Chains A and B, each alone.
Chain A
Amino acid sequence: MLKSFKPNEGYVLEAREGHWRGDAKIKTVFMQHIPEGATQRLLLEKGDLDIGRELTPTDIEGLSSNPDIKINNDVGGQVYYLALNQKKAELANPKVQEAMRWAIDYQGMTDSILKGQWVVHQAFLPEGFLGALSETPYSLDVEKAKALMAESGLTLPIEIGFTVRNNQERLDIATSIQNTFAQIGINLVMDVGDGKQGLETYRGRKHDITLQTWGPDYPDPHTNASTFALNPDNSDEAGATGYLAWRTAWDPGAEINAETEAAVVEQDTDKRKAMDEDLQRKVRDNSAFVLMFQQARQDAMRANVSGFYAGGATDSAAYWLITK
């Protein structure tokens, strides 16, 4: 039960006695907002904090050799993707779309700038959701991408705008993509701005390519399927900004739209899973989206703490199982 809540400071959870799942071992959980990772690390090392949830990769690395601390690895629900505006002829070209999928250094980024924070993931459903695909068929292959660009029939190089949020991580990813795309004849011109500003451009269908993240709203595959793989009316007049497919002017076609609508009402779990897997493959291989990464999460906790569930892709952390 929520006992107290102070925005920007923290909140207090109190165990409810006689819950049907059993009583919690810990009666009170104090959540404190500590914005600075180094401060969290110090509190953890001192034993004044049991679990640190906002540590930087540097702090995690520093703590990993401490015998009093253990690191918990989990995933989050956010996925990183590129949205290619289908109003721009070059970006609607299937060969260009495929070439782009082969011209991203997925592994290089997760091994360096995104280490510990994102993992390679090439499906619209994050790991942890029913039917989420874990296959990662695409990797950096400049030669293959060049060949596809040559088949596209375009005069190279082409110049494309790239809307990116003014945030270090996103700028790092964008710079890497800009570099590898340049090698296959796509010159990205970065338009860096505030997140809300970039979102307005995206919702207004005014972008060329935009680097975005998406997180699920509820723990059912339809939460992402209904936005990546559904767009009932692709006209400007529809103003259907709630669909990512509409925002990037991509018409999935009657077949995908129908399959998405059918999947959500399918009651047979295996059939549902197969339908969602099929949808993910279709969107992954032939759409206006280039899916790249899924959020990874690392929490550090005192060695005597156990039973903590960080929440997975649905971000539903459980504290009631904790013992210490």
Chain B
Amino acid sequence: MSETTSPLSERRLLRLFTQLAVGFLTLAVTLFGLLLITFIIGRVVPIDPVLSIVGERATAAQMQAVRDALGLDLPLWRQFAIYVGDALQGDLGRSIRTGMPVAQDIARFFPATLELATLGTIFGTLVGVPAGVLAATRPGSIADQVVRLVGLMGYSMPVFWLGLIGLLVFYGKLDWVAGPGRLDPAYDMMMEFQMTAYSGMILIDSALNGAWDIFRNALSHIVLPAGLLGYVSMAYISRMTRSFMMTELSQEYITTARVKGMPEWRVIWVHAMKNVMVPLITVIALSYAYLLEGSVLTETIFAWPGLGSYITDALFAADMPAVLGGTVVVGVAFVTLNMASDILYRLADPRARA
């Protein structure tokens, strides 16, 4: 028995590779543009990086020595070439505020944001999509009104206020969840000195270490900020799902399916949902990317050492290497997520594959 490859499959494979290659090229160009813009921003801001490093008492000679060491007197194109070269090797400079390499700082702060944003997006999607479907299938009903009202609250109430109220009620009064921070101090010490760090995400690392008491403590700490981010994300996802689903349910193929006697759940969750998924992927990906940028206010209220607060603190301290490094990482995450959503979009939509 011999195996044959159909010419159609080969053509599709080739097309997929071409699309991927174009995608990666776009990614490379975008990242180059991002590096260029961050470099220019770093040079045009009216802040002398030397002064930030040497402090107030430094003499002119000391300042010049640091200026030479940083290569700030070199031509701009050479400085940019060095910047790109270093960035490609993972060297984003040294933070003035923390004194650590920016890449090392980000490797510590980004997992905290990633953990929070991922849980928030999962929550927002798991609740937002069914809520949107429920509202779309019963337009004008009480369920629809409730979903709209809850969504509206998520849009309009400031995250800062919601976070503080959430802390006051669920931590302060009801004692259902742990307070701010990622772990209780004692568990934090155990995590730092006794556990192996695999990902920097405490939930994953504690589970992999089999430290279930740390896992429970981390879960108790993350549930409120992740729930808050998830709520904001859910408000957006449910509104969009409702709108997409209502459009689909008015299509002729849905009427045909219903006339043929197909069960309503199948009409909604199989036939209509397949088409709703296509734009919804972009919506969820954008919402995820937004959370990955770091929700500064949520991180501030919950003393969550994430990327958003890292960049903001760096900005206030005029710590440009940290600001630029953080911006590059956020940019890479954004572009990567966009590309991933493009790939998923192609997988979900046969027309995009044609």
Q: Which chain A residues (1-55) contact chain B, with CB distance < 8 Å?
A: 3-4, 6-9, 12, 30, 32-36, 38-39, 42-43, 45-46, 48
19 more CB-based (< 8 A) A-B contacts, given A8-B309, A30-B188, A239-B59? A4-B192, A8-B109, A8-B305, A33-B305, A36-B303, A42-B168, A42-B179, A45-B172, A48-B179, A193-B46, A196-B51, A196-B52, A196-B318, A200-B48, A203-B51, A227-B57, A241-B57, A241-B60, A242-B56
Residue of B nearest to A217 (CB): B57
CB pair A35–B172 under 8 Å, yes or no, is no
B: which residues have CB within 8 A of A?
Answer: 46-48, 51-52, 56-60, 95, 97-100, 105, 108-109, 164, 167-168, 171-172, 179-181, 185, 188-189, 192-193, 300-303, 305, 309-310, 313, 318
CB pair B57–A242 under 8 Å, yes or no, is yes
CB pair B318–A46 under 8 Å, yes or no, is no
Question: How far apart are the CA atoms of A32 and B305 in the complex, in Å?
Answer: 11
> Contact mask A198-240 → B, CB, 8 Å, 1/0?
0110010000000000000100000000010000000000011
CB pair B301–A36 under 8 Å, yes or no, is yes
CB pair B109–A240 under 8 Å, yes or no, is no
Give the residues in chain A near B318, CB-CB below 8 Å: 194-196
Cβ-defined partner of B189 (8 Å) among A4, A32, A39, A194: A4
The answer to whether the Cβ of A134 comes within 8 Å of any Cβ in the partner chain is no
Give the residues in chain A near B47, CB-CB below 8 Å: 194, 196-197
Give the residues in chain B near A43, CB-CB below 8 Å: 179-180
Count chain B CB atoms within 10 A of each CB in A34, A194, A196 and give the residue with the most. Answer: A196
Residue of A nearest to B305 (CB): A9
Residue of B nearest to A32 (CB): B181
Give the residues in chain A near B164, CB-CB below 8 Å: 38-39
Cβ-defined partner of B303 (8 Å) among A4, A35, A242: A35
CB pair B180–A39 under 8 Å, yes or no, is yes
A: which residues have CB within 8 A of B?
Answer: 3-4, 6-9, 12, 30, 32-36, 38-39, 42-43, 45-46, 48, 193-197, 199-200, 203, 217, 227, 239-242
User: Closest CB-CB distance, B52 to chain A, in whole Å?
Assistant: 6
Residue of B nearest to A193 (CB): B46
Question: How far apart are the CA atoms of A99 and B95 in the complex, in Å?
Answer: 44
Q: Would you list 30 pairs from A and B whose C-beta atoms are within 8 A, ordered by A residue?
A: A7-B95, A7-B97, A7-B105, A30-B188, A32-B181, A34-B181, A34-B303, A36-B301, A39-B164, A39-B301, A39-B303, A42-B168, A42-B171, A42-B179, A43-B179, A46-B171, A46-B172, A193-B46, A194-B46, A194-B318, A196-B47, A197-B46, A197-B47, A200-B48, A217-B57, A227-B57, A241-B58, A241-B60, A242-B56, A242-B59
Cβ-defined partner of A239 (8 Å) among B60, B100, B185: B60
Question: How far apart are the CA atoms of A194 and B316 in the complex, in Å?
Answer: 9
Residue of B nearest to A46 (CB): B172
Question: How far apart are the CA atoms of A90 and B234 in the complex, in Å?
Answer: 62
Give the residues in chain B near A9, CB-CB below 8 Å: 305
Give the residues in chain A near B98, CB-CB below 8 Å: 7-8
Residue of A nearest to B52 (CB): A196
Question: How far apart are the CA atoms of A254 and B312 in the complex, in Å?
Answer: 47
Give the residues in chain A near B95, CB-CB below 8 Å: 7
Question: How far apart are the CA atoms of A34 and B164 in the complex, in Å?
Answer: 13
Residue of B nearest to A30 (CB): B185
Are A8 and B310 CB-contacts (below 8 A) given A241-B60, A242-B57?
yes
Give the residues in chain B near A38, CB-CB below 8 Å: 164, 301
CB pair A34–B60 under 8 Å, yes or no, is no
Question: How far apart are the CA atoms of A196 and B301 in the complex, in Å?
Answer: 27
User: Closest CB-CB distance, B93 to chain A, in whole Å?
Assistant: 15
Question: How far apart are the CA atoms of A38 and B303 in the complex, in Å?
Answer: 11
Question: How far apart are the CA atoms of A46 and B170 in the complex, in Å?
Answer: 12
Question: How far apart are the CA atoms of A227 and B105 in the complex, in Å?
Answer: 35
Give the residues in chain A near B97, CB-CB below 8 Å: 7
Question: How far apart are the CA atoms of A202 and B296 in the complex, in Å?
Answer: 32
Question: How far apart are the CA atoms of A194 and B188 in the complex, in Å?
Answer: 36
Question: How far apart are the CA atoms of A34 and B301 in the complex, in Å?
Answer: 8
Q: Which 10 A-B pairs have the closest CB atoms?
A: A7-B98, A30-B185, A239-B60, A242-B57, A34-B303, A9-B305, A196-B47, A196-B318, A197-B46, A35-B300
Question: How far apart are the CA atoms of A196 and B303 in the complex, in Å?
Answer: 27
User: Closest CB-CB distance, A39 to chain B, in whole Å?
Assistant: 5
Question: How far apart are the CA atoms of A4 and B108 in the complex, in Å?
Answer: 14
User: Closest CB-CB distance, A199 to chain B, in whole Å?
Assistant: 6
Give the residues in chain A near B300, CB-CB below 8 Å: 35-36
Give the residues in chain B near A197, CB-CB below 8 Å: 46-47
Question: How far apart are the CA atoms of A45 and B175 in the complex, in Å?
Answer: 13
User: Closest CB-CB distance, A170 to chain B, in whole Å?
Assistant: 14
Question: How far apart are the CA atoms of A217 and B310 in the complex, in Å?
Answer: 27
Question: How far apart are the CA atoms of A199 and B105 in the complex, in Å?
Answer: 27
CB pair A8–B168 under 8 Å, yes or no, is no
CB pair A35–B309 under 8 Å, yes or no, is yes
Question: How far apart are the CA atoms of A217 and B179 in the complex, in Å?
Answer: 36
User: Closest CB-CB distance, A231 to chain B, in whole Å?
Assistant: 14
User: Closest CB-CB distance, B214 to chain A, in whole Å?
Assistant: 16
Cβ-defined partner of A12 (8 Å) among B52, B57, B171, B189: B189
Question: How far apart are the CA atoms of A8 and B104 in the complex, in Å?
Answer: 13
CB pair B57–A200 under 8 Å, yes or no, is no
Give the residues in chain A near B60, CB-CB below 8 Å: 239, 241
Give the residues in chain B near A199, CB-CB below 8 Å: 51, 56
Question: How far apart are the CA atoms of A317 and B309 in the complex, in Å?
Answer: 26
User: Closest CB-CB distance, A213 to chain B, in whole Å?
Assistant: 11
